[in-house]
Structure 1
Amino acid sequence: MPSPKEPAMHDTLTPRRTVALIALAWLAGGMLLLLLTPLSGRSETLGWTPVFWLVIAPASVLITLRPRLPLELLGAVFRR
């Protein structure tokens, strides 16, 4: 058990963890925006831009930070 003066391993907010949290919030907000508003995924004037900036860009940041994440998530789904 760590002493009160030593920070626990999960209590530290590293720059990498901060970027991951920002990307997760961005991804969740983007998906929510696409699901709950009349904003379509593809339009004539914007093309695939809304889907790219609201879903694909934050997902690519998360995959860059942890490349095995999609495989781990699939493994967790199939283990149930």
Structure 2
Amino acid sequence: MSGLGVYDGDYLVVDRAIEPKVGSVVVARIGPEFTVKTYGIANGKPVLIPANPAFETIVIGEFEESELWGVVLWNLHKLHD
């Protein structure tokens, strides 16, 4: 997710009570896995847009159990060892 400025080992502050807006960075659950993507709308359906163009956009609920888990408010990452 480095395209969003999120790196391995970062801490995300997530608010599960607010609704995402188009362009929000969200944590979503697709099956048993969690992912961080950008929220969008395509053809009237909610979608998860990857930062890496090599991956496809995911239509929420199209293929397997999924849910928007929360909206990322803050990203904390270490700058110095």
- Same topology, TM > 0.5: no
TM-score category of the 2 structures, normalised to the smaller one:
under 0.3
TM-score by length of 2: 0.22
Larger Rg: 1
- In the superposition, the TM-score normalised over structure 1's length comes to 0.22
Structure with more of its chain in strand, by fraction: 2
